[in-house]
Amino acid sequence: MKNLIPFLILLFGFAANSQQLGLVISGNDASETKIIDSIGYPKSFANAKAIESEAKALSAKLGRIGFLSAEIVGNSKTNDSTFTYKFSLGQRTKTVRIYLGKNPELKMLAFPNEKDTVSLEISQTETFLNNALQTLEKKGYSLAKLQLVNIRKQGNSLMADLNIDTGKQRVVNDIVFSGYDKMPEGHKRNIRRLYKNKTFNQETLQNLYNDVGKYRFLNQTKYPEILFTTDTTKVYVYVEKAKPSRFDGLIGFANDEANSKLVFSGYLDLLLVNFVNTGEEFSLYWKSDGKEQRTFNASIELPYIFKSRFGVKAALNIFKQDSTFQNTKTAIDIGYYFNYNTRLYLGYQSTESSDIQNQNNFSINDYENRFATVNLDYIDYKIDDFLFPEKTRLFFKVGIGSRDSNLQKNSQLFAEANLRHNFYLNDKNIVNVKSLNYYLSSDTYIINELYRFGGINSIRGFQESSLQANFLSSILTEYRYVLAPNLYVHSIIDYGYFVDETSNRRDSLLGLGFGFGLQTKTGLLNLVYANGSTGDQPIKLSNSIVHLSLKANF
């Protein structure tokens, strides 16, 4: 019993400390109390100071709906836990007439569609003035002030004049980048070119934040800040160097007993972005199955050369099909940057193909082709999406040229369109749709000039570059479900139709499967299981292919 008494004292003491205080508010009569109740107020509070603050807040609410003379006429503590406040509301003022025409020029800035005098319900006054401030802010008057003066009462209405002080119209005079001293000057210049002398408002600031966020080699450490001086407006952008470069690779070794030599197999996928602080992009891709196919791709792009709006890119592609043929393609393009993510290129590309076995027939032949090309590249990011930052990608390319072979010369035209977009049903459900399309127009075709496709980056369920066509149209879909901020699962439904004139083959392709992605500290781990079939061919589990990749960021 002796031990129980201290416990009960402690228990009741805790209950007393956690006790809520009640509030009851009334008016001078039942009708005033009804008005107060219709506005509403919390009934319980943690302490007396919170009750006092709520009473003042209610007084302000009453004033906004027209009870301008409302006041607290009494308050008392009914018991240990209840406070009572009494209000006198007075006569309600229902409308206010505001004269806007004191300065016609300023009136046209803030109220372009209003008459010189407006009549409002008094409850709408605050919204009316805030809307006017927003109108001025969008026009660059960020520090504008509005004030009702010469206020007088007339019956149940108020009369007032409006003073408008717009201040100086603000434009973006300078943009200061802080936090990354070696940020490429061309990229700084581009941002300044887009925004310098632009009307300053919150929309401009948000657009600036979004555009800087499209530089994948930058992280913004906080939202831009503004420094207003008497004559200038400076925007401070806080950035740091990000890690957009990535590496994915697997290399194997085997003995070729027939030729008594060591054979390499595997793949290497390397992307270097802004590695030397010039904003450059360098990519290297190598893949070999050790037997039939070898692929080597390398490209580099230098944006904003000489701090201009132009960039240059070059590419080398080598593809070898066992001992049948080898294609070597080179390309160079000059690009015009409408902005960092919208680019138009004019270029030249050529391919030299060697018939390794010197068959020199109509199916496989030595040839050279040359094309003048134009292509448009557009990309849009969802910068707050950790797993799928690339929201939209559009790539269109057209080339006009000719092909010279040992047998004949042909004029040719090719067109390529790659489209990709994420449809966000909600935060956890995303539908990714991708379309790969290619067309080569020629009087005759040879096998070693055809478009190669199949694999994890095109129609899944087929071996890499195992399919060929002079025409391809495809739609590749994934339904993605986000299980956690760094984990998602997805379905695979890929469909394509292709034409191969060298074999008079027209067929459809279907790839079905599933996969998952896991964002780790190292990078994105992706596992895909897919099964591919053609035409009316039944789906066989034995044809299934597993694609595994880990793209490490650095």
Helices (H) and strands (E) in the chain, counts: 7, 29
Residue 96 and residue 113: Cα distance in Å, rounded?
19
Whether this model's pTM surpasses 0.85 = no
Q: Give percent of the chain with pLDDT exceeding 90.
A: 72
For residues 103 and 63, state if they share a domain.
Answer: no
For residues 144 and 193, state if they share a domain.
Answer: no
Q: Is residue 12 part of a domain?
A: no
pLDDT tens readout for residues 424-461: 999 999 999 999 999 999 999 999 999 999 988 899 99
pLDDT tens readout for residues 365-392: 899 999 999 999 999 999 888 899 999 9
Q: Is residue 515 part of a domain?
A: yes
Domain boundary among 139, 165, 191: 165
Average pLDDT over residues 396-409: 94
What one-letter code names the amino acid at 165?
D
Domain boundary among 165, 199, 225: 165
The pLDDT, as a whole number, for residue 6 is: 44
pLDDT tens readout for residues 306-354: 999 999 999 999 999 988 899 999 999 999 999 999 999 999 999 999 9
pLDDT tens readout for residues 137-168: 999 999 999 999 999 988 888 999 999 999 99
> 163 near 149, Cβ under 8 Å?
yes
Choose the weakest-confidence range: 256-265, 293-302, 495-504: 256-265
Q: Is residue 152 part of a domain?
A: yes
Residue 92 and residue 122: Cα distance in Å, rounded?
10
In total, how many domains does the chain have? 4
Q: How confident is the model at residue 258 (pLDDT cuts 50, 70, 90)?
A: low
Average pLDDT over the chain, rounded to an integer? 90
Q: Is residue 284 part of a domain?
A: no
For residues 149 and 185, state if they share a domain.
Answer: no
For residues 385 and 519, state if they share a domain.
Answer: yes
Q: Which two tokens stand for residue 240?
A: 């740091």
For residues 330 and 476, state if they share a domain.
Answer: yes
Domain boundary among 124, 147, 165: 165
> 421 near 435, Cβ under 8 Å?
no
pLDDT at 14 over 60: no
Residue 177 φ then ψ, to 5°: -95, 125
Residue 446 and residue 440: Cα distance in Å, rounded?
11
The CATH number of the domain holding residue 58 is: 3.10.20
For residues 396 and 446, state if they share a domain.
Answer: yes
For residues 48 and 147, state if they share a domain.
Answer: no
The CATH number of the domain holding residue 222 is: 3.10.20.310
Residue 201 belongs to what domain range?
174-241
In angstroms, what is the C-alpha Rg of the chain?
A: 35
- List the alpha helices (DSSP H) in 18-72: 30-39, 48-64
For residues 156 and 182, state if they share a domain.
Answer: no
Q: Is residue 290 part of a domain?
A: no
Residue 440 and residue 448: Cα distance in Å, rounded?
13
The pLDDT, as a whole number, for residue 47 is: 92
pLDDT tens readout for residues 163-199: 999 999 999 999 999 999 999 999 999 999 999 999 9
Q: How confident is the model at residue 256 (pLDDT cuts 50, 70, 90)?
A: low
- Nearest by Cα to 222 from 206, 239, 210, 205: 239
Give residue 117's Cα distance to chain centre: 45
Q: Is residue 365 part of a domain?
A: yes
Higher pLDDT, 68 or 424: 424
Q: Which two tokens stand for residue 44?
A: 């319980």
- Nearest by Cα to 457 from 524, 528, 405: 528
